[in-house]
């Protein structure tokens, strides 16, 4: 028994659809959802880690900015000669002190408002002649404090940043700096700038970070934390001494973006349970989505399968009947889908098959007639051209001798004639630009102007942007030749030919007019009828040749208009589709 070679084309359509469903719907959906679940879980985890790191960076940046503001204010006081003079000066009386206070310190506060993040600014001095109030305090009040000893041990003129206690026993951060910038330092002077505690709390209580935040100094001690139960303001506690669960994730940012305090950093801890809770929600959503993605396409595919297989089998039965010359119509309810349209087209095909065959034959005949007309037009155009090579070469020789004899006008005319002969020698170039056609027309008109002298004048107007439009070769020159020979030549003087080319509504409009002898009404109608009826060439070969060629190129998109009055002149208007290409612009001469 001969084994049949397997071919997918031998599988029934219902089985193909089942295979397509399993391979193209079921497996891809299951695999895609598994990959999507895995990727989404990882992305959610990475995104939460990234968001947490950004929150810590934001806390670090905000805290650094606040400290920078306080340090900047301390620097302005440090380099202020007025403030230093005010604190150094010995005041003979209280009135003298109050006057200087109003001039230097109160004026400073009024002219430079304190930043909203600053709680207070205090000046400490050992000047006994001052009244200690209004932000000025005796230095003896702070000599027992730890930070006073620390600032006095600081050899450099740098400020220090540390925790301090306000009068209401609230912990905050302060920037402390000695005022010893000038050489007239005879008294101790210290400025202490306190940051608002509420600003510190707002910075660290970042709602986007779900864990605990720690501010560590350069020794790893906790300067501030959002975790409850840690007495960081009473004693120094190291971060390593804080108990953490095994599943806790520790995130560390870079050091604060400022010089003071040095090597301080922000550390955050977040429980993995917080992240896993979000991951579980995302995973459950993906599972529900996968079930919907599988169930919904399955139901839709079953319905579509039943919809078109039954009707497709019915069409197949009628196609088989057509093989037996039985052109039976299919009952058509008029459905609008592809199978319904196929049914309607099948019924229409069976009723008009003879008409279709006839249309095919007629189309072939019409195509052959159009080809014959095209060949006839090209042959007539070739017959109307003068293209002997030896004559072109002879003209070039005459032109060169005229130039040698300084007969420039003669040489120019011969050069224009040579350009026209050169164009006739390259008939194979079907399409040219408007600029190339106009150059050919100018050459012809210059020759005619040489013949007629002052009797002939011409004007050429080309709308900007129309020079690059493409038209058939020698589509306008025969009309110019006709206007010159039949319109202007019979006149005694003042003959003029005008050419206007413009673009409008995607159409190229070419207008050729003259003020010659014109045509009688009967001759005009006779010529128009001959053009419409596509008569043999006979007379007016040039005009008919151009008309037939344009009709072949553009079909119904070609518009031709001829207006002429005897004794007034002739105007011809041609409208064709505007087709352009980029060309280098040259000046009309």
Each residue's pLDDT tens digit, 37-50: 778 777 877 887 88
Domain CATH number, residue 558: 3.30.565.10
Place of tokens 């995607």: 506
Q: Is residue 582 part of a domain?
A: no
Question: How far is Cα 170 from Cα 193, in angstroms, rounded to an integer?
Answer: 15
Res 376: pLDDT? 64
List, for residues 564-581, the tens digit of each pLDDT value.
Answer: 988 889 999 999 998 876
Q: Roughly what angle, to the nearest 10 degrees, separates helices 272-323 and 338-351?
A: 10
Which residue among 242, 273, 304 closes a domain? Answer: 273
d(CA 83, CA 127): 13
Q: What is the pLDDT of residue 563?
A: 92
pLDDT for res 390 = 45
Q: Which of 522, 537, 525 is nearest to 562 (CA)?
A: 525
Q: Answer yes or no: are the C-beta atoms of 566 and 519 closer than 8 Å.
A: yes
Judge whether 23 and 283 are in contact, CB under 8 Å: no
pLDDT at 584: 41
Q: Which residues of 307-320 are buried (b: 16+ CB within 10 A; e: fewer)?
A: ebeebeeeeeebee
Between 338-351 and 353-383, two packed helices, what is the crossing angle to 10 degrees? 80
User: Shortest CA distance to 485 belongs to which of 435, 444, 437?
Assistant: 444
456-462 and 495-504 beta bridge pairing: parallel
Query: Is position 344 within any domain?
Result: no
Comparing CA positions, the residue from 549, 510, 505, 502 lying closest to residue 373 is 549
Where does a domain end: 255, 273, 291? 273
**Pairing label, strands 212-216, 222-225:** antiparallel
Q: At what angle do helices 408-425 and 389-404 cross, to 10 degrees?
A: 160
Instruction: Give dist(CA 536, CA 530) in Å, integer.
Output: 8
Q: Which of 244, 273, 302 is the last residue of a domain?
A: 273
**445 assigned to some structural domain:** yes
How far apart CA 410 and CA 391 sit, in angstroms, is 17
Count of structural domains, the chain: 2
Domain span at residue 558 reads 428-577
Look at strands 118-125 and 136-138 and give their pairing: parallel
CA-CA distances (angstroms) from residue 11 to 6, 8, 315?
Answer: 9, 6, 19
Rounded Cα distance between 211 and 204, Å, is: 11
In a domain, 11, yes or no: no
DSSP-derived secondary structure letter, 206: -
Low pLDDT (below 50) residues in the chain: 1, 111-112, 354, 382-383, 385-387, 389-390, 582-589
Position 96 in a domain:
yes
Question: Is 403 part of any domain?
Answer: no
Phi, psi of 210 (to 5 degrees): -90, 0
The Cα 70–Cα 193 span in angstroms is 6
**10, 325, 344 from 317: Cα distances, Å:** 18, 13, 15
Residues 67 and 174: their CA atoms lie apart, in Å, by 8
Whole-number pLDDT of residue 255:
64
Report the C-alpha gap between 309 and 335 in whole angstroms. Answer: 15
What DSSP designation does 103 have? Answer: I
- For residue 305, tell me if it sits in a domain: no
Tokens of 192: 């202490």
188 within a domain of the structure (yes/no): yes
What does DSSP assign to residue 580?
B
> What whole-number distance in Å separates Cα of residue 519 and Cα of residue 53?
92
């Amino acid at each position: 028994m001969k084994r049949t070679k397997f071919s997918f084309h031998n599988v029934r359509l219902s089985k193909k659809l089942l295979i397509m469903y399993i391979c193209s719907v079921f497996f891809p959906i299951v695999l895609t959802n598994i990959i999507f679940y895995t990727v989404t879980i990882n992305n959610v985890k990475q995104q939460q880690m990234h968001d947490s790191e950004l929150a810590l960076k934001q806390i670090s940046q905000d805290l650094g900015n606040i400290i920078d503001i306080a340090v900047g204010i301390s620097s302005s006081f440090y380099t202020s000669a007025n403030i230093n003079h005010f604190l150094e000066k010995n005041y003979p009386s209280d009135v003298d002190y109050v006057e200087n206070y109003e001039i230097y310190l109160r004026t400073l506060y009024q002219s430079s408002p304190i930043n909203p993040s600053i709680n207070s600014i205090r000046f400490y001095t050992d000047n006994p002649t001052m009244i200690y109030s209004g932000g000025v305090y005796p230095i003896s009040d702070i000599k027992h404090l730890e930070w006073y000893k620390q600032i006095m041990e600081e050899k450099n003129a740098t400020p220090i940043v540390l925790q301090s206690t306000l009068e209401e026993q609230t912990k905050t951060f302060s920037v402390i700096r000695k005022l010893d910038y000038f050489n007239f330092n005879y008294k101790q002077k210290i400025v202490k700038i306190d940051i608002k505690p509420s600003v510190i709390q707002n910075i660290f209580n970042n709602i986007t970070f779900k864990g605990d935040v720690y501010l560590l100094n350069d020794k790893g001690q906790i300067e501030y934390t959002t975790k409850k139960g840690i007495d960081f303001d009473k004693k120094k506690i190291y971060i390593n001494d804080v108990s953490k669960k095994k599943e806790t994730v520790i995130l560390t940012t870079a050091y604060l973006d400022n010089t003071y305090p040095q090597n301080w950093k922000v550390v955050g801890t977040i429980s993995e349970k917080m992240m896993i809770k979000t991951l579980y929600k995302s995973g459950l959503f993906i599972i529900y989505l996968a079930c919907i993605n599988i169930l919904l396409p399955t139901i839709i595919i079953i319905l579509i399968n039943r919809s078109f297989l039954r009707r497709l089998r019915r069409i197949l039965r009628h196609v088989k009947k057509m093989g037996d010359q039985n052109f039976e119509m299919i009952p058509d309810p008029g459905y609008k889908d592809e199978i319904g349209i196929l049914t309607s087209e099948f019924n229409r095909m069976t009723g008009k098959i003879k008409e279709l065959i006839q249309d095919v034959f007629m189309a072939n005949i019409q195509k052959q007639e159009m080809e014959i007309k095209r060949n006839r037009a090209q042959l007539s155009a070739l017959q109307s051209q003068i293209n002997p090579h030896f004559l072109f070469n002879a003209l070039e020789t005459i032109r060169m001798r005229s130039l040698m004899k300084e007969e420039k006008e003669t040489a120019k005319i011969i050069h224009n004639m040579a350009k026209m002969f050169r164009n006739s020698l390259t008939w194979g170039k079907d399409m040219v630009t408007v600029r190339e056609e106009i150059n050919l027309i100018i050459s012809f008109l210059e020759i005619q102007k040489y013949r007629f002298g002052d009797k002939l004048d011409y004007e050429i107007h080309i709308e900007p942007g129309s020079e690059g439009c493409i038209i058939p070769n020698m589509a306008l020159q025969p009309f110019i030749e006709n206007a010159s020979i039949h319109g202007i030549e019979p006149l005694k003087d003042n003959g003029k030919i005008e050419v206007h080319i413009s673009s409008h509504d995607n159409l190229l409009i070419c207008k050729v007019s003259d003020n010659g002898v014109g045509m009688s009404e009967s001759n005009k109608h006779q010529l128009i009828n001959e053009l419409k009826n596509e008569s043999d060439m006979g007379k007016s070969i040039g005009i008919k040749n151009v008309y037939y060629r344009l009709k072949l190129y553009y079909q119904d998109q070609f518009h031709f208009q001829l207006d002429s009055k005897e004794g007034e002149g002739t105007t011809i208007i041609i409208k064709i589709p505007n087709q352009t290409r980029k060309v280098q612009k040259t000046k009309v001469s």
